[in-house]
Amino acid sequence: MKMQRRLLLTAVGVAALALTCFAKIPVLTGKMVAYDPLLHASKNASVVANKEVVILQTQGPKTRYVKVVFVSFGTSQIDAKYFDGTQPLTAQAIRDKACDESYPEIVAQVTLTQRAGTYLLTDTFKNSPPGRIKNLECYDATGKK
């Protein structure tokens, strides 16, 4: 009886892990509204991972804004063509509640007193910036298209 129970628990554990491995990673698509200019400008060509943080305007039942974090060892995480805000960026991303933000600071131009975590609007959204964003959900990009 003890051996059967152990075998059953092992089988259930393996099945749960297999289902997790084959789960689909959500795909986010949207135009880039803003990005963190300090992280964008400070790219090291070394063994240290570089980070890029952007805000996307996604379409759905209602327009919403999400924060997407890209981390890789290259000096460019996102192709330059997306930084004007005209072309939609598509990325596989996993929800990460640890980096959610309340009321992110979004500016139209960089100043000498720029704070870390402030986002710069892309050219497309400078004339029509989004309203005050109360809650910015964060996603960790596992791959981009």
pLDDT per residue as tens digits for the range 87-134: 999 999 999 999 999 999 989 888 777 777 899 999 989 888 888 889
Name the nearest CA neighbour of 96 among 56, 54, 66. Answer: 66
* Token pair 């986010």 in the structure block, residue: 28
* Residue-level pLDDT at 22: 57
pLDDT over 70 percentage in the chain: 88
State pTM to two decimals: 0.76
Band the pLDDT of 17: cuts 50, 70, 90: low
Q: For residue 131, with 0-12 CB atoms within 10 Å meaning exposed, 13-18 middle and 19 or more buried, which class applies?
A: exposed
Single-letter amino acid code for the residue at 75:
T
